[in-house]
Amino acid sequence: MQAIPPIFISHGSPMLLLEPGRAGPAWQALAQQLPRPRAILAVSAHWTRPASAVSAATQPATIHDFYGFPQALYELDYPAPGAADLAAMVVELLPGIEVDRQRGLDHGAWSPLRFMYPAADIPVIQLAVMPQADAEAHYRLGQALRMLTRRGVLLLASGGLTHNLRDLVVDAADGAALPYVAEFRQWFVDALQRRDLPALFAWHRQAPHAARAHPSPEHLLPLFVALGAAADQAELRSVFSDCQLGALALDAFVFGAGAD
pLDDT reading at 163 higher than 90: yes
Query: What is residue 156's three-state secondary structure?
Result: strand
How far is the C-alpha of 220 from the C-alpha of 33, rounded, in Å? 24
Q: Where are the alpha helices (H) located in the chain, listed in sequence order?
A: 23-33, 71-74, 84-93, 107-116, 135-144, 179-194, 197-201, 203-206, 210-213, 221-229
Mean pLDDT of 122-149: 97
How far is the C-alpha of 188 from the C-alpha of 197, rounded, in Å? 11
Mean pLDDT of 143-149: 96
How far is the C-alpha of 240 from the C-alpha of 27, rounded, in Å? 8
**Residue 153 pairs with which residues in a beta bridge?**
39
> What pLDDT is recorded for position 256?
80
What does pTM read for this prediction?
Answer: 0.96
How far is the C-alpha of 185 from the C-alpha of 29, rounded, in Å? 23
> What pLDDT is recorded for position 30?
98
Percentage of the residues of the chain whose pLDDT score is greater than 90: 95
Q: What is the pLDDT of residues 39-78, one digit of tens each?
A: 999 999 999 999 999 999 999 999 999 999 999 999 999 9
**Residue (of 48, 21, 39, 47) closest to 115 by Cα position:** 21
Contacts with 67 (C-beta within 8 Å, 6 or more apart), sequence order: none
